[in-house]
A and B are shown apart, each in its own frame.
Chain A
Amino acid sequence: MAEEVKTPAPPPPPQPQPAKTGPSGGPEGEKKPTAEKPAAAAPAKPAAPAKPAGPVPVPWTSPLVEKYRSQYGSGVDAQTYLGQNYLTVDRSLISDILRLLRGEEQFDYCVDITAVHYPKREKQFDVVWILYSFPRNERVRVKTQIADGASIPSSVSIWPTANWLEREVYDMFGIQFDGHPDLKRILLPDGWKGFPLRKDYGILQQDKEWVQINLGIESGQ
């Protein structure tokens, strides 16, 4: 597939060839997404002059942050990026902070819970809560880092909507949520092995055994 895409593309437009090399990192990336990242950075010339100095996160100051800083010290870090506020919270404080945000700060709507996988880091996962407050019309993101195999307290008792959202995070990343009423796979079949949104799970990878037993075909591709 990757070669088919690449070969017919260059001949018709001979001029914008350097620009075309950038997007072609996509099809190549299908094979090994993690190894391809540095290679994709090489033909960066056309994009480089566009925005050399992007915006950087700046510290977020507000009464809310100062309160938590004085209470929890260095366990809480608050920043703003592109006008969006986020708190980076130590794993041990996450339960307290979420409860306080819900109870005292009126973040009554849990928009989303998700995770990001950084395989090279010691604590491999970022778990992210996106919260919104109806009374304040304000959003905040809460992030924490956890290691592979570590668990995190469930927030179903704080926001009932977290039930399915946490199940999806478990389904896709294999992160355990302590105290979840019914933590099982939601989008993938129950017996599936592997967690697809981890970076070491290839895009063409599948649980062949499951496919062969349950679908009666050799491969799902």
Chain B
Amino acid sequence: MSDRTSDASNRAPSDVDRSNLDYGTPDKTYLDSNELIINMGPQHPATHGVLRVILKLDGEKVLGTECVIGYLHRGVEKIAENRTYTMFNPYVDRMDYCAAVSNGLGYCEAVEKLMNVEAPARAKYIRVILTELQRIASHQLWLGTHALDIGAMTPLFYTFRDREEILKIFERYCGARLTTHAFRIGGCQYETYAGFEKDVKNFLAFFAPKIDEYEALLTTNRIWLERTKNVGVISGADCIALGVTGPLLRASGVKWDLRKAQPYAAYSEFDFEIPTGVNGDTYDRYMVRMKEMRQSMRIIEQAVSGIPEGPIMGKVPKVIKPPVGEIYHSIEAPKGELGYFIVSDGSTQPYRLRVRPPSFVNLQALDLMVRGLLVADVIAVIGTIDIVLGEVDR
């Protein structure tokens, strides 16, 4: 308890920089308590990494927050400028390490677009299958940890047990479980292994009743309802103004998904729905993600039964040298819009590579969502935003 962090949280309020905090007339409460400023994190288990939130409290009521981020900043964009396009490919897996496959898809498609080449149909199908499996895995990880934060421990064991089956498929496909580096610029590196389709179909059959199992634990659970209903409400208009995307936006009633709005890979060929919520609260976001897992299963089912024959690599030169120009390409990652803005000067290395991270932008809405709630709700709201600090800080 004598490390620097606890020093920070124990220091007297007079040491805290108050210049940015609003000190108008304090809200009247029957407790007549003074405002308190405390640090949550950066080493707090419920902040999902190293997020530090400075809370301004009146008793247990949150008056305002400020996020301090950057503890995991590795300078991914600077690294990109000093690596070739091919060499940079594995680095993107380390941003949102819970959804490495999605990161890779966005990056590879962005470079392909910049080079004006297209991955062959077979590669696109394989990409869709793996990316949707990754979406399920990401949502499983979110559900387990989010429920654990709120106090329900059992879902964590269920989701990690089932996520293992997805990771096994990844491992058999490309040898890695988390930072997969599954795709290459122009297509896929690996052909599907013998029994890939069977494994995926087996997983679908295995997983369908498991979602019901998760729902049986939570959907009508009274404690779960109390902790999530009307907690962290955000309206659709606020989401758009704050650039919030992904399940948060959809739970607030905006039916928008990049897979439908601006289809990429092979998504235009599949039949699926965009689940939406009404209230924009933590419970709706939970329901949207549960439904999204079911929709992902629908997509995988269609894709795996119709993988076309053909090559898995498009016609890309050995040395990736996109012509001079710039491109912005984004995909619907499990957490929202993940975009890559790449400027090429015609050399083998990107002149500038910008990542538009969904977690970073979504986290900005935390302050709006938790004002007026209790400290315990901050935990629930951080969980429901579904941030990964590797992506927030890059």
Contacts and interface: CB of A to CB of B under 8 A. Distances in A.
A164 B73 contact: no
Interface residues of A, number: 54
A23 B20 contact: no
Given A46-B319, A84-B327, A116-B343, A26 B114 contact: no
B82 A203 contact: yes
Interface in B226-249: 240-244
Interface in B103-159: 113-116
Contact of B341 (A26, A57, A114): A114
A30 interface: yes
A37 B339 contact: no
B94 interface: no
Contacts, number: 143
A130 B356 contact: yes
A2 to B, nearest CB: 11
Given A16-B318, A116-B352, A141-B328, A111 B116 contact: no
A84 B347 CA distance: 21
A161 B361 contact: yes
A55 B345 CA distance: 14
A111 B393 contact: no
B328 A130 contact: yes
B308 interface: no
Contact of A29 (B75, B114, B349): B349
B328 A109 contact: no
A217 interface: no
Interface in A172-187: 172, 182, 185-187
Interface of B: 20, 69-70, 73, 75, 77-79, 81-84, 86-87, 113-116, 240-244, 254, 256, 261-262, 317-319, 321-328, 330, 337, 339, 341, 343, 345-349, 351-352, 354, 356, 360-361, 364, 393-394
Given A54-B323, A55-B323, A82-B114, 20 more contacts: A23-B84, A25-B348, A25-B349, A26-B82, A26-B84, A37-B347, A47-B348, A51-B116, A81-B325, A81-B327, A82-B116, A109-B240, A110-B243, A130-B339, A130-B341, A161-B364, A165-B243, A165-B361, A187-B69, A196-B75
8 contacts: A22-B318, A25-B347, A47-B317, A47-B318, A51-B116, A139-B328, A159-B241, A172-B77
